[in-house]
Amino acid sequence: MEITKGGRYSGRWASTDPAVAAVTIHTSEPVVIENCSVRGPGNLIAAWSTDRATQINMNVTVRNCHGEGLDPKVPGRARGFFFKAVWPRRVVITDNEFSHTRGVHITGDRKPAAVSELVISRNRAVNTDGRVTTGRCDPHLNADPRPTSHGSCAGFFSATLGIIEPGRFEISWNEIINQPGQTDYTDIISVTGVAGKPGNPALVAHNYIQGAYAKDPTAGNNGSMITCGDSSPGNPAAHASRYLTCKNNTCVSFSNICIAIAEGHHNTMDGNRMISSGRLPDGRIMKGHYTGFYIRNLYHETFFTQNSAINNVYGVAYINPAGKPVKVGPVLDDCAPTACHHNTELAGTITTTTENQEHHRWKQTRTTTGTPN
């Protein structure tokens, strides 16, 4: 399906070719894709154009759609993204459900206010999946491959990169469920090189994430559930992550980290809940725990400052060689002075029952705040 004119589109679309998206958008006129079903072994919905003027003015809404990623059956190749866009003007993705995809991938051009609005809200995603058919992730066969140490390609729920001072940036009220042995990922909500503004922060809020597992969850780990400030070595100050607020998110059952601030300035973790027992739902032991949350100047930036963690609740354990749970606290080595406080550790032993209670708690909160189920 190729869309070359603006308008509303509904239907059932599929691709059998991993190199061809099920739906491709080639216009800067506003496009709304709604009440649809889309499936395939490659990207499901892609917004791109060879004309720069068209590309930088893409305006796409995707809502109430169901997406399914299929095995490409090509060695070294992973499934595609549910939605992928480069340099769009506006993207709104709401009330969708998608499974076994590499998630939503949106790249900005690092120009202030180039993105007027980016909203990813009230979606349900099952199995963030960067696994390849056989072998290891082939950079020549996959867009944005970022191969993992386990041979998969990068998988996300959402990856947003290089979006500077957007009019509105919100990733909220999404429910993300990953199952052991059905997923592999890099970071689940990856906010990299994204910059809000004072008084108008980029917002990652009220998301529920369950399960951050490597391809073999008993053998190792990957990245964070949420990066609340991240980049790469040598990133200039103009491209720094800044004025991000990661608030009231819930992380359950992770093999490495729930939320990390590794880069930038004026980034905040506030009121999040981070619960992990060190065991998989079936009782097997996970490997590779680090901590619930951290603030570390990972890239030794001179502009790493005013990053904070407040009002967070955590209960994180790993299982030691004797089979006993051992609690671990946050790592706040590079927190701004007096900016990390009122963070509370749950009392008692953290178990899979504790984890299950968090899902119920989040759904109740969603109901009482009037957020649609």
DSSP 178-202: --TTS-B-S-SEEEES-B-BTTB-E
Range of the domain at 109: 64-368
Angle at the Cα of 291 (from 144 to 249), degrees rounded to 5?
70
Tokens encoding 279 = 């065991």
Within 10 angstroms of residue 90's Cβ, the number of other Cβ atoms is 19
The answer to whether residue 327 scores a pLDDT higher than 90 is: yes
What is the count of structural domains for the chain?
1
Q: What is the mean pLDDT of residues 199-213?
A: 96
Q: Is 142 exposed, middle or buried (0-12, 13-18, 19+ CB in 10 A)?
A: buried
Domain membership flag for residue 4: no
Q: pTM of the prediction?
A: 0.97
Q: What is the spatial distance between Cα 270 and Cα 328, in angstroms, rounded to a whole number?
A: 19
Does residue 26 contact residue 55 with C-beta atoms inside 8 Å?
Answer: no
Domain membership flag for residue 270: yes
Domain membership flag for residue 285: yes
Domain membership flag for residue 3: no
Residue-wise pLDDT tens digits, 174-190: 999 999 999 998 899 99
Tokens encoding 227 = 């990066």
Provide the pLDDT for residue 233: 85
CA 72 to chain centre: 23
Q: What is the spatial distance between Cα 187 and Cα 250, in angstroms, rounded to a whole number?
A: 15
Task: Name the pLDDT band for 373 (thresholds 50, 70, 90).
Answer: low
CA 130 to chain centre: 13
The answer to whether residue 110 scores a pLDDT higher than 80 is: yes
Tokens encoding 59 = 């305006």
Provide the pLDDT for residue 289: 76
Domain membership flag for residue 99: yes
Phi, psi of 97 (to 5 degrees): -130, 130
Domain membership flag for residue 17: no
Domain membership flag for residue 257: yes
The answer to whether residue 372 scores a pLDDT higher than 80 is: no
Domain membership flag for residue 14: no
Pairing of strands 273-276, 344-345: unpaired
The answer to whether residue 296 scores a pLDDT higher than 60 is: yes
